Amino acid sequence: MLLNHRRALRLVAVLAVLTVVVFLLVGTDPNRGFVQDVDDGFLDLMVSARTGPLVWVAKALAFAGSVWVNWPIRVVVMVLLAVRRRWLQLTAFLLAVITSEPLIGLLKEVYDRPRPAAGLLATHSASFPSGHAVAGAVTAVGIVIVMLPPGPRRWRWEVQAAVFAGLMALSRTYLGVHWLSDVVAGTFLGVTLAVGWPALLQELRERRQSRTSHVGTGSTAVDLAAEGL
């Protein structure tokens, strides 16, 4: 899946640290003073930049990151991977999905952060982290990794997936239904899971193959010695 999974693991480590930092900044300040000041300023900027056409674009991006789009795409990808017997890719993508979905609900419940007032879309859950941002990153980045072979073509698609995930996440702030820190934390978490599971599975597979090869070499050496060769 990954041309250099150990380099990917280092990237995941950096993303994980950034994710934890954002979560701590939001969670350890009871009044969210510093974070809220940044979030308020960014929301004011988004509101001041609103225009009719861009609002419709933002709503389209928000719909593209919804469960009504994400889940059908995910199911199709899983079926294709199963038909092609690409079990490692299927497992990696499935793990990214099934770990991200419970985390969204759990973290929202733990943080219980109110959403911005007067958002342009109806919402029914807590604000932090953005479920759209987590799910969008897991789906967009994860699909590119498991469906395309490493190389320049996949790199171009990775960039496009990252751009889509970022724009989709920002659309939530443009519509006033999330704070900036909500979507930043969600995007970091989603990308960490989308890249982390493939990299971890490849590392585990390589270690298992290395042990198997070592045991096989050792057995051959013992057999040759026993035969006096």
224: in domain:
no
Q: What is the largest CA-CA distance in the chain?
A: 85
**For residue 143, what are the domain limits?**
5-207
216: in domain:
no
Mean pLDDT of 142-150: 90
Mean pLDDT of 28-43: 82
Q: pLDDT tens digits for 62-120? A: 998 888 999 999 999 999 999 999 999 999 999 999 999 999 999 999 999 999 988 89
Residues in the chain: 229
Tally the domains of the chain. Answer: 1
Using 50, 70 and 90 to split pLDDT, how confident is the model at 45?
very high
On the question of pLDDT at 222 being above 60, the answer is: no
218: in domain:
no
C-alpha–C-alpha distance, residues 6 and 136, integer Å: 24
27: in domain:
yes
227: in domain:
no
On the question of pLDDT at 148 being above 70, the answer is: yes
The rounded percent of the chain whose pLDDT value lies above 70 is 91
C-alpha–C-alpha distance, residues 89 and 75, integer Å: 14
Mean pLDDT of 20-39: 84
C-alpha–C-alpha distance, residues 11 and 158, integer Å: 14
Tell me, yes or no, if the pTM score tops 0.85.
Answer: yes
**Which pLDDT does position 24 carry in this prediction?**
92
On the question of pLDDT at 214 being above 50, the answer is: yes
219: in domain:
no
84: in domain:
yes
C-alpha–C-alpha distance, residues 110 and 187, integer Å: 18
**Which pLDDT does position 193 carry in this prediction?**
95
Q: Which of 183, 196, 90, 176 is nearest to 134 (CA)?
A: 183
212: in domain:
no
Kindly report whether the peptide bond that precedes residue 129 is cis, defined as omega within 30 degrees of 0.
Answer: yes
Mean pLDDT of 24-48: 86
pLDDT, averaged across the chain: 88
The rounded percent of the chain whose pLDDT value lies above 90 is 65
Q: Strand, coil or helix: what is 177?
A: coil
Q: Which of 162, 187, 200 is nearest to 13 (CA)?
A: 200
